[in-house]
Chains A and B, each alone.
Chain A
């Protein structure tokens, strides 16, 4: 059972990206984040100011505990900053209520995780469909779009398999299909190749890069891997809560 080659994948261009290429997709203004750990306060982000234009592919590198995942969570509307503002287009994420953040995540942001984070009891097809559930997409359309998304990542014939029946690379492809099936403006990937061997890593990165190019996505990848980071248009290094351009 070998992973299909990305060369055979056709990637349709999404219609009219919500944010025109070049305009600011993300604007971070003096974003700070602190956590309380027992009795001490840990600073994860320190006055981070940053702009990520729409359609840019950005790699964030840095040591463990440097604040990479925290920054990604801020961008993904999964957490709120302790200070400063995070803007996604015109929305100030730090000021939106939980319900609105959930809606935003449902529509505009796609996530890919290091551990794939697929629902173990659902098939690949059903896992992809979970991303359309919050939008209230009718069942028939949901099934069609999920099938198309799986076909786009080269897993049409594995649609009925549960994650335990798929290889790591295949699982990550399902996760990518799940992230892209809702046609988001932003794709956030947290160590997407961290659990994969070198060959599979390259295949997944080919896939992500292809999707980014063809769809005009804003792609933010957190990675330890310099080979992955080198593929990005822009590289940032975060250490001690501060961000620097590389």
Chain B
């Protein structure tokens, strides 16, 4: 009887059923799409972060860089070694070529005992350390500065009118190239954690435990192509020639790995004069539920360090991916809430108006012995089924919308600070964004070391949770409308209900 009555009622007032179902369907479809997009953006962010931090890193430990003037290795001043150049007296020029390996801007190093501290912290499954560096090679011609200084003087003074000579153009000018690439010193024995865990060796071999202290290097395949280098070639890092033993490519399509060149950690430390120093410790928690506790323990054990979780790091992803993330999380969320609230309101209003319209019907049912519970159950059942029809329709519309997004394949650009840029909290993220805005991402310029840019195809994954959310909302919408409508029906006194008709 319940089902027959329910079916006949819903079929008998098709227009109302359809309006409520469509309202509910649109709201649920929107929630599904926003939810799926949110998942896609999360995946994209994780993908960008993986290219920097590797797979499995839950927490990174870095140290905030010291401010200007506070010293520390690799400060902001760049010495290109003009005094070491060869001077050609005949031409009045100095030819210089110098390669320096230093910590990048915004990067600080700290004692590698932090790795042992991390490994001994409760809840830590694994940890690995890395040293992030920047190699800058300066080569070119400079004017003979001593000549310039000797002939210099204020305008109008004797000798001040002698034109400068020497240099690349013979008139006191300079011509030089600055070649910069990022270098990451990694533990050659620990490939399961850290930046290379999300990369694959596509040519040659990877670093092995036996490579510790050896002058060997791995190159990011994209960088190798740009620099026209191949396995078996050599590369000058900090004035030392390294043999290229392999090329690595990020697992994620269109993403580059976290650095251009990878060296054994101790080799990198020795070349940079930073023995016993690291810039990042990658930590993997034993359980995803322990991450917050492990973060707190690490912050306590390493009070000087900056301890970030993946969630903290996600906020440092910039570019159009960041815009998409903001759009989905703010506009998408609120739009979903607003549409959902409107759909629920429509369902409630229609249900209440239906109860009012059916006052005589419910009064009659009560008069012939139907209990309040049975009448409320009937109203709630009708609303619930209406909600479920809306839910089913919403899932179809939502899947079509998600399918359309998958078909369009929007590409987003995500920039994440590399290992050098992270660790300083807000400032490096800002630096990364600034670099992105300035178009300095990639391999050129001083900010190059601070960002890794990836083009990510945005997906909208349909997960069980997305479908469950849709079904849950449909049930909730039906129950809310049914509960309010049922409450109204339960308050009808049979005598009054019948009298209102008389």
> Contact residues of A with B, CB < 8 Å?
69, 73, 76, 78-79, 98-99, 102-107, 110-111, 113-115, 117, 119-122, 126, 129-131, 133-135, 139, 142, 178-179, 182
Contacts and interface: CB of A to CB of B under 8 A. Distances in A.
Contact of B366 (A102, A120, A129, A179): A102
B362 to A, nearest CB: 10
Nearest to A69: B502
Interface string B302-337: 000000000000000000000000000000000000
Interface of B: 1, 4-5, 8-9, 11-12, 360-361, 363-372, 374, 493-495, 498-499, 501-502
A182 B369 CA distance: 11
Contact of B1 (A99, A103, A114, A130): A130
Nearest to A73: B495
A113 B369 contact: no
A121 B12 contact: yes
B368 A139 contact: no
Given A69-B499, A78-B498, A126-B5, 13 more contacts: A78-B494, A79-B493, A99-B371, A103-B371, A105-B366, A107-B369, A113-B498, A121-B11, A121-B12, A122-B8, A129-B1, A131-B369, A134-B371
Contact of B368 (A105, A114, A121): A105
Given A113-B364, A115-B501, A98 B8 contact: no
30 contacts: A78-B495, A78-B498, A79-B494, A99-B371, A102-B366, A105-B367, A106-B369, A111-B364, A113-B498, A114-B502, A117-B360, A117-B363, A119-B361, A120-B12, A121-B5, A121-B8, A122-B4, A126-B5, A130-B5, A130-B365, A130-B368, A131-B368, A133-B1, A133-B370, A134-B368, A134-B369, A134-B371, A134-B374, A135-B369, A182-B369
B9 A121 contact: yes
Nearest to A132: B1
Nearest to A98: B372
A9 B499 CA distance: 33
Contacts of A78: 366-367, 494-495, 498
Given A73-B498, A113-B364, A142-B1, A126 B372 contact: no
A121 to B, nearest CB: 4
Contacts of B495: 73, 78-79
A100 B232 CA distance: 95
Contacts of B365: 119, 130
Contacts of A79: 493-495
B396 to A, nearest CB: 27
Nearest to B364: A117
B371 to A, nearest CB: 5
Contacts of B1: 126, 129-130, 133, 139, 142
B493 to A, nearest CB: 7
Contacts of A179: 368
A117 B500 CA distance: 13
Nearest to B369: A106
Nearest to B368: A131
A143 B352 CA distance: 32
A120 B5 CA distance: 11
Contacts of B499: 69, 73
The A contact surface, by secondary structure, is helix
A119 B375 CA distance: 13
B224 to A, nearest CB: 75
A134 to B, nearest CB: 4
A182 B370 CA distance: 13
Nearest to B367: A111
Contacts of A182: 369
Contacts of A103: 369, 371
A107 B360 CA distance: 21
Nearest to B501: A115
A142 B4 CA distance: 13
Contact of B371 (A102, A117, A120, A121): A102
Nearest to A175: B364
A120 to B, nearest CB: 7
A99 B490 CA distance: 12
B11, B368, B372, B501 interface centre (most CB from chain A within 10 Å) = B368
A8 B140 CA distance: 121
A78 B367 CA distance: 7
Contacts of A114: 502
Contacts of B363: 117
Contact of A106 (B4, B368, B502): B368
A78 B11 CA distance: 31
Contacts of A120: 12, 361
B491 to A, nearest CB: 12
Q: Would you list the 3 A-B pairs with minimal beta carbon distance, nearest first?
A: A106-B369, A121-B12, A79-B495
Nearest to B499: A69
Contacts of A130: 1, 5, 365, 368, 370
Nearest to A74: B495
A53 B444 CA distance: 107
B371 A126 contact: no
Contacts of B4: 122, 126
Nearest to B494: A78
A121 B501 CA distance: 18
B370 A134 contact: yes
A46 to B, nearest CB: 18
B354 to A, nearest CB: 12
B88 to A, nearest CB: 104
Given A79-B495, A133-B374, A111 B5 contact: no
Contacts of A98: 372
Contacts of B369: 102-107, 131, 134-135, 182
Contacts of A69: 499, 502
Contact of A102 (B9, B11, B370): B370
B370 to A, nearest CB: 5
A122 B5 contact: yes
Contact of B372 (A102, A104, A105): A102
A114 B498 CA distance: 11
Contacts of B367: 76, 78, 105, 111, 117
A22 to B, nearest CB: 27
Given A121-B11, A122-B8, A126-B4, A178 B498 contact: no
A126 B11 CA distance: 15
Contacts of B5: 119, 121-122, 126, 130
A98 B372 CA distance: 9
